[in-house]
Amino acid sequence: MLRTDVVIVGGGLAGLALGDALERAGVDYQLLEARPRLGGRIKTGFVETEAGRAAFDLGPSWFWPGQPRVQALVERLGLEVIDQYSHGALSFEDETAAVSRGRGYASMEGSYRLAGGMSTLIDGLASQMDSDRVHQGMAVRALRDRGHIELLDDDGQPIASGSRVILALPPRVAAKLSFEPSLPVEAMDAAAGISTWMAGQAKCVAVYETPFWQEMGLSGDAMSRFGPMVEIHDASDHRTGKGALFGFLGEAATARAEHARAIQAAAIEQLARIFGEQALIPITVFFQDWATEHRTATELDAVPAAGHPTYGLPHALRNLWDGRLLFGSTEVAARFGGYLEGALEAAEQVVEQLARLTPRLG
């Protein structure tokens, strides 16, 4: 069993940012990630090409000006920032599948992407950390407070023990864990009531030899009332020159699960309606349905949030187990909840809380 001061449960951006902060402060910690990969909702699909490996984000794709933590991390890791492609006309598909142009400008103009995909943030942070402290494929099922906190696996066997535990998981996912003694009903209700950002979404990414729509004077942005994708954007890899279009699916999570193959085929047909017959022949297609990933989504996330929720750390989730059990995902960030910036903000909030108990962090 791993014994340490701080146990971080979750190896997404928030968990890794927290581990990185503890590493630099000389605090003893261990990070447990249930998946066989790091990154959480940050996931990149790759295509090998003659020009190198092309990268396509299957989770978050962007960050924006005015998000200082992401900007600082990108600079510290020496990552290459690229502007979201925004030249040309936006396309609009109405309820009858009729396509028109020029109803607006590129909808994501002014946003930033990272060359090599957002997973470069994850790889960069992980490279700063002691690999012996980061454990993949180590799922936590239960926590019990014995003066120190023990973390148990699916078989009920202790796998780690720490003075403090940080749940760098979506609160709804954390609420599925078993706690002994039980957390207050108010705390469990508060955690279950926090919508997991983008957990009910699915993303389809079609990769092409070239971004042919750019030569047609199109930005790659499209809005649709016919579907199955309701919002489409350019996701081309500028290093290799491979084109890509991605869209968010408007179909309900239950329909996606039952008819995934048919929906993917319909998505390619939709791209052809909007951008021409060249769209019928992608090199490959990535389909990422986050609602099917139980490490990200619960049944409560089957219906995506209608807008951006108001996030932050509810009072009921504070001072649990005498302040030794803390929440630290992007959903509890006070200002930028839901965004990548929010994941870093949440890690910062946890560091501030730990600093009151751990002098080396002060």
Q: For residue range 142-176, what is the model confidence (pLDDT) as tens digits? A: 999 998 999 999 999 999 999 999 999 999 999 99
Query: In the prediction, which pLDDT does 93 show?
Result: 97
Enumerate the β-bridge partners of residue 178: 142
Q: Each residue of 212-239: pLDDT tens digit?
A: 999 999 999 999 999 999 999 999 999 9
Spatial neighbors of 342 by CB under 8 A, at least 6 apart, are 311, 330, 331, 333, 335, 336
CATH code of the region 45-57+84-110+200-295 = 3.90.660.10
Ranges in the chain annotated CATH 3.90.660.10? 45-57+84-110+200-295
Q: Which CATH architecture has domain 1-42+118-197+304-362?
A: 3-Layer(bba) Sandwich (3.50)
Structure tokens at 40: 């959480």
The beta strand positions in the chain, using DSSP E, are: 2-9, 29-33, 44-49, 52-57, 81-83, 89-93, 99-101, 112-114, 134-136, 142-145, 149-152, 158-167, 178-180, 202-208, 218-224, 229-234, 243-249, 284-289, 325-327
| Predicted confidence band of residue 254 (pLDDT cuts 50, 70, 90) | confident
- Model-level pTM? 0.95
Predicted pLDDT of residue 362: 47
Please state the rounded mean pLDDT for residues 343-358.
Answer: 91
Q: How far apart are CA 193 and CA 198, in angstroms?
A: 15
- R_g of the chain, CA atoms, integer Å: 21
Q: What DSSP character marks residue 189?
A: H
Among the ranges given (98-107, 129-138, 235-244, 263-272), the one the predictor scored with the smallest mean pLDDT = 98-107
User: b vs e for 10-20, b when ≥16 Cβ sit within 10 Å of the residue's Cβ?
Assistant: bbbbbbbbbbb
In the chain, CATH 3.50.50.60 covers 1-42+118-197+304-362
Query: What tokens were used for 185?
Result: 């009903």
Give the closest residue to 347 by CA, choosing from 45, 19, 118. 19
The alpha carbon torsion through 169, 158, 190, 13 (nearest 10 deg) reads: -10
Give the contacts of 123 (CB within 8 A, at least 6 positions apart).
Answer: none
Determine if the peptide bond prior to 309 is cis (ω within 30°).
Answer: no
The tokens of 187 are what?
Answer: 């705390």
Tell me what percent of the residues of the chain surpass a pLDDT of 70.
Answer: 97
11 closest CA partner among 334, 343, 356, 354 = 343
